[in-house]
Amino acid sequence: MNLEILLIAAFGGSFLTYFLGKFSHKVRDGFAVFISSALVVLVTFFYDKQVSINYYSGFFDLPFILRINTLSWFFAITIAGLGALSIAFSLSYMKERKGTNFYYLIMLLVNASMLGIVLSGDLVSFYIFWEIMSWTAFLLISYNRGPAIAAGMKYIVMSLAGSIFMLIGIFSLYANYGTFIIPEIGAGIASASSGFILFILIMFIIAFGIKNAVWPFHTWLPPAHSEAPSPFSAVLSGILIKMGSYGFLLIFYVIVGMNLFLGLGLGRFSFNYILCWVGAITIVIPTFTAMLQNDAKKLLAWHSIGQMGYIIIGISLGTSLGLAGGIFHFFNHALFKALLFLTVAAVEYRTRGVRDLNSLGGLVKKMPVTFIGVLVGALAIIGVPLTSGFVSKWLIYKTLILDGYSFLAFAAFIGTWGTLLSFYKLVHNMFLGQLPEKYKDVKKAPLSMQVPILILSGVILLFGILPGIPLKVINEIGTSFGFESLNVNIGGIASETGTLNTINILAVIAVAAILIWLFLRAGAKSRRVTQEDSYGAGLSVPTDKYHYTVEFYDPFSRMIKPYLRDVIDDFYNWIAKGAQKTFDHIRHLYTGDVGHYAIYIILFLAFLILASFGWFLL
Amino acid sequence: MIIKIVEIIAIPVLAFLVGIFFLGLSRRIMARIHWRYGPPITQPIIDIIRFSYQESVSHGVIFDLGIIFSLAASIAVVLFIPLGGMCALSSSGGLLVILYLMLLIPLGVALSSGEGANPNISIGISRKLILSLGYEVPLILILLTLMTRYGTISIADIVSQQGSGWTIFSVPLFMSGIAYFLILPAILEIRPFDMASAPQEISSGHKVEYGGKYLAIITIEHAFTLFIGLALFVDLFLGGASNPLFFFIKMLVVFILCIFINAVFPRFRIDQAIRYLWKWPTALALAGLIATSVMW
């Protein structure tokens, strides 16, 4: 079986879905689910295969190479898996919307282009697939119209800026080595000067950093994530921005290579150490900004930025533990952030578009499955033991502490507590507390929403208890970059300086929990009461008179709010405004009067003549 | 193997008994400071037995499960802490696992009581979590200092490396030790940091809906929380101990000092608490970490 089948199925399937939708929506829905799950199956077949095929090398010497290795396989399976789940979720979410044919077409195209990115073996096809991804994502972000248009505009402008930097990088590489093929560039760059490597790295870091929403390139992400249709938010946050992480891995460890990348810089202030600090800032500021948000999707969006920081630290630390932690955290973030967006989408769907944390509440009794999903997702993003998020964070912390990066570790830990506070707020304000009168009749999420939520929750718990399964693949990626192999076993990682054994932790908690449960059962029976029947010091607790979850962390938010103004965003807006004003002035040159244009031409000719005389005189 | 299993069973029981003894003792000492006679020292145990036979109300499944997981997590934490030569599971992941399991304790209670749908609970939980964030900042700095100084993430190694001298008397680390002692009342949730369960203003906050056996579990959990906070201090700064008896004596001394603070201080407001926690303890802990990073 060949690699082109994957891309043909992905791209062909998306257009076919569109045309099927012209005839019947039922057939189209079925086919969309079928093609996206078929991609998962197809990708699994390529496990542990190393293929590289040159399809075409005629036109201007621009090759078209597809290749797969462990790194691309790992990303491809995540892309395909999340794609299938979000398409399945969309079935009921998009049912009553207009223009669904277009939605499915673009949704599948995004997936196809991301598969193309991870499968491409040369920088030209990489760039082409990257651009397809950028504009398809733009179409979906601004799908809802209204404020979504502005969000999409912000995204596409920043994306284009990133693409320009990437193009500069690609062409400087081509100018020096005369090739676009990734392994050949990697071979040629070994003899490059450190100045050139630094230049290349900065170009690509800006390009990938914008997509990856690394501080200070993060400003497009919060509006884009919150305005996009929710199943696409799951893809956008789960995997699309992580294409930036893939790009980082590609440029750091495949093109530039481990030794050159880690050797850059002076002493302790090496290049990768500075990158780690960028990661640390990316953790702390956005995580605490997230705590202040009252829109559920905006809260999740800010956390997407925050979690990217952990990935950046893990990837750029340059130790085998750190790299494993970074890549594992990428995978985990894809799982739990998709899960969280899907659960918020389910609530949004059932409450007819409400995602304001100040007005929801008490939904746990109405939507139990969704609650399980949001709880597992929240626990995983906090990194509670027995979820997969714990293992990846443990790896990153451990390498940070043992290598003496205490302050980076501090930033990472503080980020975790910020995450705990804001996710408790999310869970509490949506699902716990009093159920407002107007949500008395909320029904539980439809089956096509429950299944993706349950699958994702199951995978998170499975890999939290048996982290050895993904870590085996991740370890192979690390060794293919030239890192030391880790001692991975099914229940964790063994090493001399502190072993992690998740099965132990599970056993202890499970046994203790069962004993306490038995104790609870043994005592006098407890009486189930309604939410109105609660202690009010002799008075009854008023229902619906006031909502006490409003401004949940008020004393604290008032303290930190002044420090969290997004000055970066202000700065970009200032540039955008300035540019708009300048171009507005330039526009006045075009008066529409032929006489004026004639004068312009004469003035220009005069300038040319003068210039040539000047040249002559010199 | 058999010794391990005996330890795994014995340690939580011991921790429970010591924690409960501390609870009883604290009421007794408090009473004497207030010129009262005070309840008998076994009062918390009598309470727990009485609570488990009384009627209780439940607000739903999470109301039951959250509190179970909270207590289960506190039992698990105890198993990861070396107690004077006994350490059941301290090789599995070390301090990082302890830090993370400790995070489950307030989270479990928060989830459980959150379903209670009482305004006092929301206020209490909000305060409890803010307070946790408040003391975690210096606590993390302190733990990082220790892990950097001893070059390990295993708490058993940190204890064994103190054979030559207690951490609290070694040169840059005494600052971390003082910082830990300054935040200890916040970790133990005693005055001046009991705003989360302030009985006189928000009816015990997150505990307001618990009755009967739920109250029993919350009391047991409080005993464990006391035990964990003190045991960590003894292990990290007072050199642990060679046998459990000495370990508990060291804990007792620290605890009595804390009760004296508890008895005379009024309650902070939550924002005052954060301001305090992020000023002196954090500054001391930060100084300790910087000094340690420079010297090691």
Tell me what percent of the residues of chain A surpass a pLDDT of 70.
92
Q: Which residues of A touch B99 (CB under 8 A)?
A: 413
Number of domains in chain A: 2
List residues bridging with A144 in a β-sheet: none
Q: Which run of H or E residues covers position A251?
A: none
**Model confidence pLDDT, tens digit, residues B83-103:** 876 776 656 557 877 887 888
Q: Which residues of B touch A417 (CB under 8 A)?
A: 103, 132-133, 136-137
In a domain, A583, yes or no: yes
Q: What is the 3-state secondary structure (H, E, C) of A145-201?
A: CCHHHHHHHHHHHHHHHHHHHHHHHHHHHHHHHCCCEHHHHHHHHHHCCHHHHHHHH
The confidence score (pLDDT) of residue A616 equals: 63
CA dist A434 to A445, A496, A544, B113, Å? 20, 50, 8, 12
DSSP structure string for A74-104: HHHHHHHHHHHHHHHHHHHHTTT-S-HHHHH
Cβ B122–A537 below 8 Å, yes or no? no
Q: Which residues of B touch A424 (CB under 8 A)?
A: 107, 110-111, 114, 125, 129
List residues bridging with A265 in a β-sheet: A270
Instruction: Enter the tokens of residue A111.
Output: 């997936």
Instruction: State the Cα–Cα distance between residues A186 and A67, nearest whole angstrom.
Output: 15
Decide which of B8 and A605 is more confident: A605
Nearest 5°: the CA angle B91, A402, A244 is: 110
Least confident of A43-47, A123-127, A535-539, B172-176: A535-539
Q: Which of A175, A208, A238 is the last residue of a domain?
A: A238
**Model confidence pLDDT, tens digit, residues A512-539:** 888 878 877 776 677 777 766 777 666 6
Instruction: State the Cα–Cα distance between residues A150 and A324, nearest whole angstrom.
Output: 38
Which residue is associated with the tokens 């401004």? Answer: A551
Q: Which of A176, A203, A238 is the last residue of a domain?
A: A238
Instruction: State the Cα–Cα distance between residues A291 and A418, nearest whole angstrom.
Output: 7
The confidence score (pLDDT) of residue A499 equals: 58
CA distance A394 to chain B (A): 7
Q: Say if residue A545's pLDDT is above 60.
A: no
Question: pTM (2 decimals)?
Answer: 0.88
Instruction: State the Cα–Cα distance between residues B242 and B226, nearest whole angstrom.
Output: 21
Instruction: State the Cα–Cα distance between residues A514 and B151, nearest whole angstrom.
Output: 37
In a domain, A206, yes or no: yes
Q: Which run of H or E residues covers position B186?
A: helix B173-188
Q: Is B260 on the interface with A (CB under 8 A)?
A: no
CA distance A277 to chain B (A): 17
CA dist A571 to A207, A220, A280, A429, A564, Å? 19, 13, 21, 33, 14
Instruction: Enter the tokens of residue A609.
Output: 């003549």
Contact criterion met (CB below 8 Å) for A434 and A545: no
Q: Say if residue A3's pLDDT is above 70.
A: yes
Q: Say if residue A13's pLDDT is above 60.
A: yes
Environment class of A128 (CB within 10 Å of its CB; exposed 0-12, middle 13-18, buried 19+): middle
Q: Is B103 on the interface with A (CB under 8 A)?
A: yes
Contact criterion met (CB below 8 Å) for B19 and B224: yes
Q: Is A517 on the interface with B (CB under 8 A)?
A: yes
**Model confidence pLDDT, tens digit, residues A75-117:** 888 998 888 888 888 888 887 777 788 888 888 889 899 988 9
Instruction: State the Cα–Cα distance between residues A52 and A3, nearest whole angstrom.
Output: 9
Q: Helical H runs in A351-467?
A: 368-382, 388-402, 406-431, 447-465
Contacts of B248 (CB under 8 A, 6+ apart): B18, B84
List residues bridging with A54 in a β-sheet: A65
Decide which of A192 and B41 is more confident: B41
Question: Shortest CA distance to B194 belongs to which of B157, B164, B222, B160?
Answer: B222
Structural domain boundaries, residue A23:
1-238
**Model confidence pLDDT, tens digit, residues B211-229:** 778 888 888 888 888 888 8
The confidence score (pLDDT) of residue A59 equals: 64
Mean pLDDT over residues A12-17, rounded?
86
The confidence score (pLDDT) of residue A498 equals: 53
Contacts of B179 (CB under 8 A, 6+ apart): B138, B141, B142, B280, B281, B282, B284, B285, B288
Contacts of A131 (CB under 8 A, 6+ apart): A163
List residues bridging with A489 in a β-sheet: A492
Query: Could you tell me the pLDDT band of residue B132, with boundaries at 50, 70 and 90?
Result: confident
Q: Is B213 on the interface with A (CB under 8 A)?
A: yes
Q: Is A384 on the interface with B (CB under 8 A)?
A: yes
Cβ B110–A552 below 8 Å, yes or no? no
Contact criterion met (CB below 8 Å) for A156 and A138: yes
Contacts of A585 (CB under 8 A, 6+ apart): none
Q: Which of A238, A255, A274 is the last residue of a domain?
A: A238
C-alpha Rg value of chain A to the nearest Å: 26
Cβ B122–A548 below 8 Å, yes or no? yes
Q: Say if residue B192's pLDDT is above 70.
A: yes
Question: Half-sphere exposure of residue A240, counting CA atoms within 13 Å on the CB side?
Answer: 35
Query: Could you tell me the pLDDT band of residue A384, with boundaries at 50, 70 and 90?
Result: confident
Strand A488-489 with A492-493, pairing: antiparallel
Ordered by start, the domain boundaries in chain B are 2-295
Taking only residues 116 to 175 of chain B, the set having a beta carbon closer than 8 angstroms to any beta carbon of chain A reads 116-120, 122-123, 125-126, 129-130, 132-133, 136-137, 140-141, 144-145, 147-148, 151-154
Decide which of A308 and B2 is more confident: A308
In a domain, A389, yes or no: no
